[in-house]
Amino acid sequence: MKAVRSVLEYLQGIGVKHIFGIPAGSVNAFFNELYDMPEITPIVTKHEGAASYIAASYAKYTKQMSVCIGSSGPGGTNLVTGAANAMREHLPVLFITGAVPVNTMGLNASQELDADPIFKSVTKYSVTVTDSKDLLNEVVKATEIAISGVPGPVHIAMPIDVQHGEGGNTEIPILHKKQDLTPDLETIQKVAKELTQRESGYIFVGQGIRNSTEQIIELAEMLDWPIITTPQAKGLIRDDHPLLAGVFGFAGHDYASTLINEGDVQSLLIIGTSLGETATNNYNANLTKNRFTVQMDFDSTVFNRKYEIDIPVLGEINVSLLYLIEELKALGLTRESTKRLEKNNEIKNIEEYNTRNVLLKLQEYLPSSTRYSIDIGEFMAYVIHHMKVLDTDTFDINVHFGAMGGGIGAAIGSKLAEPERPSVAITGDGCFFMHGMEILTAKEFNIPVLFVIMNNARLGMVYHGHSLQYKRSHPSFEQEPTNIAAMAAAMDIPSFRIDSMEDLNQDVINNLTQLNGPAILEVALVDNNVPPMGDRVKFLSSFGK
C-alpha cells in the first residue's frame, strides 16, 4: 500500500471527515487518493491561511483533531500563521505540507523549503519524513501528540517520493483516546478548606471553561461569588445570570474593573485563563493584590508566570471543578439563592447610526443561539463591551493571537462543525480584503454563513490606536471606499448594503439568512467615536509622550 494511502485510511479511521487546504504538485498524491475515498471531503479554500483558521475552528467545535494541507514552499509558509493561532488556542490541528523529493533537497528545487524548523516554534511537534516506511508511524505519533496533554497543532512535511513509496505498515493502527488529567485530591481538599475560611472572593474565568460552564455556575452559586470573565470567555456565561459581573480586560466593563481594582475581597479563584495581556488589562497588579489566589488549569506552564499563585491546581478543568464542588458540599456549603449584582448597563442614544447600535440591533433580529465569530478590528471592542450573551457559547473571539481575517474562516469552520447552529462572522473591510474571498468557499460548499462587514474604508483599530498614542493618524491607514455588496453581487452571492439605522430591519436579515449558502450584510459606516477599549486607551496613551 502506498504510504500516502495508509495515512488517509488512518485519518478516515479516526473520524476525519474534511481536509482543508489547497492542492498543488507536491501534494497531488494526497488529493489523488481522495478520488476513491468519498468519506473524506477536501474543502478547497482560496488561501492556505484561511484554510488554517477554518481547520482550527472546526477542531474547536467538533472537539476532534482536524487536518489542514498546503504545498511545499509558499503553501507551507501560508499555513504558519494558522499554526501559531492554533497553538495559542490549544487546538489539535494536523498540518501537512508537501516537500520536494528527498534526492533533490538542497538543490534549489521548485518551491523547496525546509519547513520543519519553521513550524517547530508554533507547533507541539514538527518533522520531515524522508522514508516512506516511516510516514504512517510519524502521522500516528503526531496525531497522539496533538490530542494528548495540552492539545495543540502538529506538522509533518511529506516529500513527493515519500508519499508515493510503499508504506511499512499493512495494519492501520487505532488512535489512543486522550486521557483526562486528574487533579490531586489533597490539593482540591486544601483549596476547599481555604475558600470556606474566606467569606468573600471573585471567580475569574477564561476560555478554558468552555466545556465546564454548568460547574462554574454551580460553584459561583455555592460560594455566592461574582463571576468575572476575560474577553476570550465572553459568550460562555449568559448575561442574565445574577452573579455575572462582566468582562475584565480589553474592552471590559467598568463594573468588573471596579471590582478588581477597588473591591475588598479576600480571595480570587482563577479558572481556565493563562492571564495574558488582554485578559488582565495589561497585567494589572490589582488582580491578585492582597488576595489569596487559586488557579485551576490543565496547562502547568500558566502557573506563576506573572502573578504569584498560592495554590495551583493542575487537572482537566471540568474534573477539578467537580471534585471541588463535592469537597465544598462535604464542608457544608449548599447552592442557595443568589443576589443579583447591581450593574448599570443603561445604553443611551440608541437611534444614532454607530457601530454599537448596529451590532445591538443586528442581535435583535437574529436567533439567540447564533454564534458570532469575531474578527480583529474596532468593532471587536464594541462586541465585547456591548453585545449580549443570550445563549451559551455564542461568541468566538480571538484577541490572543489577533489574526486579521481569522474570524471569516472561524465562522465557516463553526458552521461545518455544528450545521444546525446559525453562524455569523462580524468582520471589517480590512479583514475582508485579506481573506474575504473565502465567501466563495462558503458558496461552493453550500455553507450558510452571514458575513457582516463593517466597512469604514480604513483600518479602524489602527486608526484609533495610533490617534490615542500619537495624537495623529497617517493618511495611508485610510483607503478609497469600496462597495463590497457590489463585489458580492458580481460573485452571485446575496448581499445588502446599509447606510443608516433605518436600512436595517427584520426583513433584511430574513432575506440574508436561512439560505443554502453565504450572504453579506455590508455596513457602510465611519464611526469616529473612540471604541470602548477600557484601560487599553490609557495603555496606548502612555506611550510616545
| Residue 478 per-residue DSSP state | B
Domain membership of residue 174 (yes or no) is no
Predicted confidence band of residue 401 (pLDDT cuts 50, 70, 90): confident
- pTM, whole model, 2 decimals? 0.93
The verdict on 498 and 374 lying in the same domain is: yes
Residue where a domain terminates, one of 279, 314, 330: 330
Domain span at residue 41 reads: 3-164
Domain membership of residue 263 (yes or no) is yes
The verdict on 48 and 154 lying in the same domain is: yes
**Side by side, which strands form the sheet with 371-374?**
395-397, 371-374, 423-428, 449-455, 519-524, 495-498
Percent of the chain scoring above 90 in pLDDT: 78
Specify the pLDDT at position 539. Answer: 57
Specify the pLDDT at position 458. Answer: 55
Specify the pLDDT at position 107. Answer: 84
Distance between CA atoms of residues 114 and 100, nearest Å: 10
Q: Give the amino acid at 292.
A: F
Which domain CATH number covers 406?
Answer: 3.40.50.970
* 516-545 per-position pLDDT tens digit: 999 999 999 887 777 787 665 555 555 555
The verdict on 513 and 394 lying in the same domain is: yes
The verdict on 457 and 386 lying in the same domain is: yes
Which domain CATH number covers 231?
Answer: 3.40.50.1220
Number of domains the chain contains: 3
Compute the mean pLDDT over every residue in the chain, rounded to the nearest whole number: 91
The verdict on 236 and 307 lying in the same domain is: yes
**Side by side, which strands form the sheet with 93-99?**
41-44, 18-21, 66-70, 93-99, 154-159, 125-128
Specify the pLDDT at position 71. Answer: 95
CA-based end-to-end distance of the chain: 66
Predicted confidence band of residue 370 (pLDDT cuts 50, 70, 90): very high
| Residue 16 per-residue DSSP state | -
Specify the pLDDT at position 345. Answer: 65
The verdict on 30 and 123 lying in the same domain is: yes
How many CB atoms are closer than 10 A to CB 196?
15
The verdict on 281 and 417 lying in the same domain is: no
For 74, the grid coordinates are: 509558499
Specify the pLDDT at position 342. Answer: 75
311, β-bridge pairs: 294
| pLDDT of 1 strictly over 90 | no
The verdict on 198 and 65 lying in the same domain is: no
* 143-183 per-position pLDDT tens digit: 999 999 999 999 999 999 999 998 876 677 777 777 789 99
CA triple 243-245-247, angle to 5 deg: 140
Domain membership of residue 97 (yes or no) is yes
Residue of 85 and 110 predicted with greater confidence: 85
The verdict on 151 and 215 lying in the same domain is: no
Domain membership of residue 234 (yes or no) is yes
The verdict on 158 and 235 lying in the same domain is: no
| pLDDT of 3 strictly over 90 | yes
User: Which range is least confidently modeled, 37-41, 80-84, 165-169, 407-411?
Assistant: 165-169
Alpha helices in 124-230 (DSSP H): 132-147, 160-164, 185-196, 213-223
Domain membership of residue 179 (yes or no) is no
The verdict on 222 and 96 lying in the same domain is: no
* 111-145 per-position pLDDT tens digit: 889 999 999 999 999 999 999 999 999 999 999 99
| pLDDT of 36 strictly over 70 | yes
The verdict on 325 and 435 lying in the same domain is: no
Residue of 279 and 172 predicted with greater confidence: 279
| Helix%, strand%, coil% for the chain, nearest 5 | 40, 15, 40
Domain membership of residue 202 (yes or no) is yes
Domain membership of residue 435 (yes or no) is yes
* 178-205 per-position pLDDT tens digit: 778 999 999 999 999 999 998 899 999 9
For 236, the grid coordinates are: 460562555
Domain membership of residue 171 (yes or no) is no
* 318-358 per-position pLDDT tens digit: 999 999 999 999 999 887 766 778 776 667 777 899 999 99
* 473-520 per-position pLDDT tens digit: 666 666 788 899 999 999 999 999 999 999 999 999 999 998 999 999
Specify the pLDDT at position 115. Answer: 94
